[in-house]
Amino acid sequence: MTNHLAAALLASGPFADLKDKLDLYGRLVGHWRMHARLQPEPGKFIEADGEIHFGWVLGGRAVQDVWNLPGFYYGTTLRIYDPTLDAWHILWNEPVRQFYTHMIGKAEGAGIVQLGKNKAGRDIRWRFSEITADTFRWTDEIQAEDGGWFMQEDLAVRRA
């Protein structure tokens, strides 16, 4: 029996007419292992290991991923390129903590920055940096009362 949803959702590669723009996240397609360093409050650190899976979806016009950090979160992101903005709509869905957000993602130097709001309406910034073919760093920051940024998560990610 064929899984019709998977067949309709998954794509074998990027949509050819947008390939150059889609490479921003397309270079992450594959399976990854992460080591997370979480900081739920200043000076309190928790470490955990998990995995991330990125793939092409919707006729190769989007990238979807699944993030699993057991005991902390299990969610999916749909990343859709918008040619009118020359940026990406980032839709994070996480049913364990009931956290859903819309962010805008774009290139930042050799990396990627995503800007949005958390549940409480505070500014958040998620970054992919130090990207190579086999590794990247991902950080989750929230804007502090003083206008600076507080790092909540710092992930070291390696291709599986």
Fold of 4-159: Lipocalin (2.40.128)
Give the helix/strand (H/E) hosting 93: strand 87-94
Task: Encode burial over 14-45: b for 16+ CB neighbours within 10 A, e otherwise.
Answer: bbeeeeebbebbbbbbeebebebebeeeeeee
**C-alpha neighbours within 13 Å on the C-beta side of residue 56:** 16
pTM: 0.94
By C-alpha distance, which of 68, 98, 92 is closest to 78?
92
Say how far apart CA 8 and CA 6 lie, in whole Å. Answer: 5
- Segment 55-109, tens digit of pLDDT: 999 999 999 999 999 999 999 999 999 999 999 999 999 999 999 999 999 999 9
By C-alpha distance, which of 113, 102, 104 is closest to 141?
113
- Segment 112-159, tens digit of pLDDT: 999 999 988 999 999 999 999 999 999 999 999 899 999 999 999 999
Per-residue confidence (pLDDT) for residue 2, from 0 to 100: 62
